[in-house]
Chains A and B, each alone.
Chain A
Amino acid sequence: MPVKMGIFLCNCGGSLKNIDFPKVRENLEDLEDVAFVDISHNLCLEEGEKAITSRTLTENINRVVIAACSPEFCERNFARLLEKLRLNPNLLSLANIREQCSWAHEGDVTRKALELIMMAVDKARLLQPVERKEVAVNKEALVVGGGFCGMKSSLELSQLGIRPTLVEREPTLGGKLKELEGFYGSQREAMIKAVEKEENIEILTSAEVIGVEGKIGDFRVRIRRETKEILRTFGAIVFATGYKTEITAGDFPLKLGINIISQKRLAQMLQAPTLEASPETIGFIFDLSDENSRFPTLATLNNALAVKQRWGSEVYVFCKNVKVDSEGVEKLYREAREKGVMFLKFDENPKISADDGRVRIDAGDTLLGEEIALTCDLVVAEEKLLPAEGTEGLSSVLKIRTDSQGFYQEENVHLYPVSSERKGIFFVGNCRGDLDLGRVLADISSVVAIVHELLSPGKIMVEVERVKADPQKCVACLTCIRACPHRAIQLVQIDNEKVVAEISQLACDKCGICAAICPAKAIKFEGYSDDQILAQIEAIGVS
Chain B
Amino acid sequence: MNGEIIAFCCEHSAYAAADAAGKQGLHYPEKLRVIRVPCAGRVDIIHMLKALEEGAAAVLVLGCEDGLCQHLTGNVRAKERVKYSGMLLTEVGIDGGRVGMFNLAANAPHKFIKIIKEMNERIKKQGR
Contacts and interface: CB of A to CB of B under 8 A. Distances in A.
A and B touch in the complex (CB under 8 A): yes
B6 interface: yes
B3 to A, nearest CB: 9
B72 A412 contact: yes
A516 B67 contact: no
A411 B72 CA distance: 10
A241 B30 CA distance: 54
Contacts of A536: 35
Contacts of B54: 537-538, 540-541
14 contacts: A72-B19, A96-B34, A99-B18, A101-B22, A103-B25, A414-B69, A421-B71, A511-B42, A517-B77, A525-B38, A530-B46, A534-B46, A536-B35, A537-B54
A136 interface: no
A172 interface: no
B89 interface: no
A74 B42 CA distance: 23
A194 interface: no
A312 interface: no
A533 interface: yes
Given A530-B46, A536-B35, 10 more contacts: A96-B19, A100-B19, A105-B28, A414-B12, A414-B69, A486-B71, A511-B38, A516-B41, A525-B38, A541-B4
Contacts of B19: 70, 72, 96, 99-100
Interface in B69-113: 69-74, 77, 81
Interface residues of A, number: 47
B51 A537 contact: yes
Chain B's interface size range is: 35 or more
Given A538-B54, A540-B1, A540-B54, A512 B39 contact: yes
B38 A528 contact: yes
Contact of A414 (B1, B6, B26, B68): B68
Contacts of B15: 72
B21 interface: yes
A412 B69 contact: yes
Contacts of B125: none
B86 to A, nearest CB: 17
Contacts, number: 131
Interface in A75-115: 96, 98-106, 109, 112, 115
Interface in B15-56: 15-16, 18-19, 21-23, 25-28, 30, 33-39, 41-44, 46-47, 50-51, 54-56
A525 B42 contact: yes
Nearest to A509: B71
Nearest to B65: A413
B2 interface: yes
B27 A513 contact: no
Nearest to A532: B35
B72 A410 contact: yes
Given A534-B47, A540-B6, A513 B18 contact: no
Interface string A423-434: 000000000000
A511 B71 contact: yes
Given A103-B23, A540-B54, A528 B37 contact: yes
Nearest to B7: A100
A510 interface: yes
A485 interface: yes
A471 B54 CA distance: 32
Interface in A485-543: 485-486, 509-513, 515-517, 525, 528, 530, 533-534, 536-538, 540-541
Nearest to A516: B44
B43 A516 contact: yes
A492 B64 CA distance: 33
5 A-B pairs with the lowest CB-CB distances in the bound complex, closest first: A512-B42, A99-B22, A541-B1, A511-B71, A103-B22
Given A537-B35, A538-B54, A541-B1, A483 B47 contact: no
A71 interface: yes
Contacts of A336: none
Contacts of A415: 70
A116 interface: yes
A56 to B, nearest CB: 23
